[in-house]
Amino acid sequence: MHIPDGFLSTPVWLTLNAVGAPAVGLLARRAQRESGDIKAPLLGVMGAFVFAAQMINFPVGMGTSGHLVGSALLAYTVGPAAAAVVMTAILALQALVFQDGGILALGANVFNMAIVGVMAAYLPYRQFGRGRMRTFAIFLGGLLSVLTAACLALSELLLSGVRMPGPVVTVSLGLILVCAVAEGAITVAVIRAIERVNAGWIRGPEAMGKPALGFIATAALLLVTLGGLVASSSPDTLESFAEQVGIADQARSLFETPFADYQARFFEADWLAQAAAGLAGLALIFGLGLGLGKLLRNRRAAGRPANAAGGD
């Protein structure tokens, strides 16, 4: 799902960077207004969990794999605006530190997964996520978040001049649908698990207690330390698609990092290298999420007197 540099034409990635940056800024301002109801640690813990889950690929058939994207999960646990900001931080860290997704293509990945993906996930939840159809709404939101982001990615490649044979597109869309169904099912399972630990959470993010935060943090640690032992090594759907249409060799990196491909280069054992990279990523994402939560909350608090004064 992460588009690397070299796949998109200059006009396409430039346009999406120009669109994505102000859109995230507007969502950050919205999240600032809503942050009084959200505990800052929740942003860090949920961001860390989504980062960890994205590291674990599962087989989807025909020699390809997929992984949780997490747009829906973030939207349901921290709200859509904050979810877009946290997902943007995750995507930026992945591109800059782990070379997962391009630097120039960051705007495209943010637009697809952090902006449109989050909004597509939240729409069914907002419409009927509080009644009898709540479980279906959660599932549908997860499914739509992946389908929407993937179709946007394919459209951006098409606009960049990538030739797409019909049979390849058909097969790829089928595999993407499998990933989308898995996203919905995993999202439902995670939400239910959180509610078993913290039943009061259904009232909103402000009700998330320490037991639930500890549960999510523990799950993230287990994913990055042990998940690599069972994760699929097959290419994901975008990588497989790129190989089939002949653009895989166009992927390039603007620079090298010691944590490229989620492998800490200073360890020789594959499992230890991945676990070390994952733990480093968890710490970075948690710190970013916690910092963002505190920043949004502080700005909201600082803005209250000014707003009150302006209204007098």
Encode pLDDT of 101-148 as tens digits: 999 999 999 999 999 999 999 999 998 878 889 999 999 999 999 999
For residue 133, the number of C-alpha atoms closer than 13 Å in the C-beta half-sphere is 9
Which of the four pLDDT bands, split at 50, 70 and 90, describes residue 201?
Answer: low
As a whole number of angstroms, the distance between CA 138 and CA 76 comes to 8
As a whole number of angstroms, the distance between CA 160 and CA 9 comes to 5
Which of the four pLDDT bands, split at 50, 70 and 90, describes residue 312?
Answer: very low
Q: In terms of residue numbers, what domain contains 179?
A: 10-304
Does 215 score more than 70 pLDDT?
yes
Q: Percent of the chain scored above 70 by pLDDT?
A: 90
Does 294 score more than 70 pLDDT?
yes
Q: Is 27 helix (H, G, I), strand (E, B) or coil?
A: helix
Q: Is residue 47 one of the residues assigned to a domain? A: yes
pLDDT at residue 308, as a whole number: 46
Q: Is residue 38 one of the residues assigned to a domain? A: yes
Encode pLDDT of 171-188 as tens digits: 999 999 999 999 999 999
pTM: 0.92
Of residues 307 and 303, which shows the higher confidence score?
Answer: 303
Phi then psi for residue 9, to 5 deg, are -70, 160
Give the residue-averaged pLDDT of 291-304: 75
Q: Is residue 108 one of the residues assigned to a domain? A: yes
Angle (deg, nearest 10), helices 237-245 and 166-197 = 170
Q: Is residue 310 one of the residues assigned to a domain? A: no
The two tokens of residue 94 are: 């992945």
Q: Is residue 2 one of the residues assigned to a domain? A: no
Which of the four pLDDT bands, split at 50, 70 and 90, describes residue 305?
Answer: low
Buried b (16+ CB within 10 A) or exposed e, 131-150: eeeeeebbbbbbbbbbbbbb
pLDDT at residue 213, as a whole number: 86
Cβ partners under 8 Å of residue 246, min gap 6? none
Give the residue-averaged pLDDT of 31-58: 85
Which CATH number does the domain housing residue 206 bear?
Answer: 1.10.1760.20
The two tokens of residue 46 are: 């949920």
Q: Is residue 213 one of the residues assigned to a domain? A: yes
pLDDT at residue 306, as a whole number: 45
Q: Mean pLDDT in the chain? A: 90
pLDDT at residue 23, as a whole number: 96
As a whole number of angstroms, the distance between CA 312 and CA 297 comes to 24
Q: Is 66 helix (H, G, I), strand (E, B) or coil?
A: strand
Give the residue-averaged pLDDT of 91-104: 96
Q: Percent of the chain scored above 90 by pLDDT?
A: 71
Does 203 score more than 80 pLDDT?
no
The count of domains in the chain is 1
Encode pLDDT of 10-23 as tens digits: 999 999 999 999 99
Encode pLDDT of 217-266 as tens digits: 999 999 999 998 899 999 999 999 999 999 999 999 888 999 999 999 88
pLDDT at residue 195, as a whole number: 86
Q: Is residue 69 one of the residues assigned to a domain? A: yes
Q: Is residue 153 one of the residues assigned to a domain? A: yes
